[in-house]
Amino acid sequence: MKFFLDTADLDEIQEAASWGALAGVTTNPSLYAKIGGKLDDFHAHMKRICDIVGPECPVSAETVAMTRDEMVADGLKLAEIAPNIVVKIPTMVEGLAATKELAKHGVPVNMTLCFSVPQALLAARAGARYISPFIGRFDDISQDGLAEVGNIIAAIGNYDFSDSTVNGEQVEIIAASIRSANHVTQCALMGADIATVPFGVLKKMVQHPLTDRGLDSFMKDWEKVQNA
């Protein structure tokens, strides 16, 4: 499993990148608004993120258009920001059509706001490079987000979509809307390719009380050795 950071906050991205396990970043309009992002700085901000993580790490930047033509035009401009930009497009009819068109232009697409197996299958067939099923938003309405992601992983895994994607790459499932380290565990057990996590969840993923306790006793015992 690869880990993406789900944020537009440059400090968080810088810090997570320094830990050595970051493989990409996902953003969305809400995350950009959260950091006080301005419209005329959007492309420059995406470029800053691309520069921090480097060319090997995909950075998802979302379109805010509602028609296929606008999405394609917007997506092509976003793709010019850096070679590692992935255009994020919502799973809807116009989004599918735009994904197909962007794939023809060699632009990788992350189909977002995906909540069902049929949506995921259509996204893959339209040529999405990544599909982002959301977990937490299902949980928010008292439904089982993990079960739906598991179904999506299984259904997509039944087929070969490489003839639809840019450069014949395999479509990858990004488990999104993750709220806890346990969500990551469950998604890994179900075989999600990627988990995109908020910085708070990434920090919790590193922690374990037995690690803290073990480290504390090692340090105390080492002090005894020094004083012996």
Dihedral sign computed on CA atoms, order 211, 216, 222, 228: negative
58 or 150: whose CB is closer to ligand E4P? 58
Establish whether 88 is a catalytic residue. Answer: yes
Contacts of 104 (CB under 8 A, 6+ apart): 127
Rounded to the nearest whole angstrom, what is the least distance from the CB of residue 111 to ligand E4P in the complex? 10
Distance between CA atoms of 137 and 116, rounded to whole angstroms?
Answer: 13
Separation in Å, CA 130 to CA 22, 39, 42, 96: 17, 26, 22, 13
CB atoms within 10 A of CB 22: 20
Distance between CA atoms of 193 and 174, rounded to whole angstroms?
Answer: 6
Does an H or E element contain 156, and which?
helix 145-157
Distance between CA atoms of 17 and 15, rounded to whole angstroms?
Answer: 5
- Interface residues with ligand E4P (CB under 6 A)? 6, 26, 28, 112, 132, 134, 136-137, 176-177, 196
Q: Which of 2, 47, 77, 88 is catalytic?
A: 88
Rounded to the nearest whole angstrom, what is the least distance from the CB of residue 54 to ligand E4P in the complex? 20
Distance between CA atoms of 188 and 167, rounded to whole angstroms?
Answer: 26
Rounded to the nearest whole angstrom, what is the least distance from the CB of residue 47 to ligand E4P in the complex? 19
165 or 196: whose CB is closer to ligand E4P? 196
164 or 177: whose CB is closer to ligand E4P? 177
194 or 208: whose CB is closer to ligand E4P? 194
Rounded to the nearest whole angstrom, what is the least distance from the CB of residue 76 to ligand E4P in the complex? 21
What type of residue is 125?
R
Catalytic residues: 88
